[in-house]
Amino acid sequence: MLLVKPIFFLGLLLLIFSASLCAQNADTAILTRDSTKASPLPDSAVTIKPVVKEKDTVLLKNKLLNLDAAPVSLAVQLKKDRSENGFFYLVAGLALLLAFLKYFYDRYFTNLFRVFFNTSLRQSQITDQLLQAKLPSFLFNIFFVVSGGIYVYVILSHYQLTGTGNEWIFIISCVALTGLIYTVKYCTLKFTGWISGQTEAVDIYVFVIFLINKIIGVFLVPFTIILSFSDMPVINVAALVSLLGTGIFLLLRFFRSYGLIQNQLKISKFHFLLYIIGLEILPLLLIYKGLMIYLNKNL
């Protein structure tokens, strides 16, 4: 009996070990069979749906992407920042200066236009009032120089006659040349009247010139604003209208001056026309040409 029990337990252990080996072999066979079923067939026998190609087809049908066209290379160009804030404040300051002159010298401003539309300047009491107002007359002359100089720069820039360079040099040059021209003209006329003894006739002529200059200075302010900040179609129309209006003012200045002084100086219309061409138009053209040559060489 004592030998039977150890033999029984040993046989039981062998039986359990054998059963575990059989189960392990069965699991290995099942895994091998499953892996054999899951192994892919050769590439030639497999039909795979072109998922990527379907996406490409969807993209090709999209008209916004335009994948059929040839690729285009867009070069990046760095643009320089051109700030026009300074010129805006300059034009705003010009309008503000006119507002101040109108506010503080409202009576002179009103009389200025009344005399301009009055054909008889000799027997007008308003004319005497304008002649006696020295300070307002001087300030409005300064305003004409600034307004006219800025307008000249704007109109030359519109027609691309200013060349390349610093715009502030051109603006200051235009204003300075406008002031220099009329300063020299005033001194020349006064000296001529003193030499010839025709002081009264020269004073009338000078008064008419600077009267219409003041009107021109006021007239050019809205056109300067339009030419500076409007669209190109509006600028083209404004440029023609302003040039035509300025030309009419200048012709009116000469005709009214000739009507007032012809009896005193006894000059013909032909000689007066030669004076206009020789002392009014040609110096302006020569100064402009010299200014363009100088600025193009130094900028």
Q: pTM value?
A: 0.66
Find where tokens 């000249």 sit: 152
In tens, the pLDDT along 255-285 reads 777 766 666 666 677 777 777 777 667 766 7
Encode pLDDT of 142-182 as tens digits. Answer: 999 999 999 999 998 888 777 666 788 888 988 998 898 88
Provide the greatest CA pair distance for the chain. Answer: 173
Check if the beta carbon of residue 134 is closer than 8 Å to that of residue 106: no
Q: Please identify which residue in the block is written with the tokens 């080996």.
A: 21
pLDDT band at 95 (very low <50, low <70, confident <90, very high): very high
Residue 67 identity: L
The answer to whether the beta carbons of residues 202 and 190 sit under 8 Å apart is: yes
CB neighbours of residue 243 within 10 Å: 13
Instruction: Tell the residue number behind the tokens 């009419």, with chain if given.
Output: 248
The structure tokens listed for 220 are 């050019």
Question: Any idea which of 19-23, 32-36, 211-215, 245-249 has the lowest mean pLDDT?
Answer: 32-36
| Rounded percentage of the chain residues whose pLDDT exceeds 70 | 62
- Angle subtended at Cα 207 by Cα 177 and Cα 191, rounded to the nearest 5 degrees: 70
Q: Contact 221/98 with Cβ under 8 angstroms?
A: yes
In sequence order, what DSSP letters do the residues of 35-61 get, joined into one string?
A: HHHHSPPPGGG-----HHHHHHHHHHH
Instruction: For residue 182, give the amino acid letter.
Output: Y
Question: What is the gyration radius of the CA atoms in the chain, in angstroms?
Answer: 47
Cα–Cα distance, 144 to 138 (Å, whole number): 10
The predicted pLDDT at position 56 comes to 62
**DSSP code of 164?**
S
**C-beta separation of 146 from 248 below 8 A:** no
3-class secondary structure, 197: coil
Q: Is 36 a residue whose pLDDT tops 50?
A: no
* Alpha carbons 237 and 248: distance in angstroms, whole number: 17
Task: Please tell me the predicted confidence (pLDDT) of residue 38.
Answer: 45
Which SS3 state, helix, strand or coil, does residue 71 take? coil
* Residue with more model confidence, 40 or 7: 7
Statement: residue 193 has pLDDT above 70 = yes
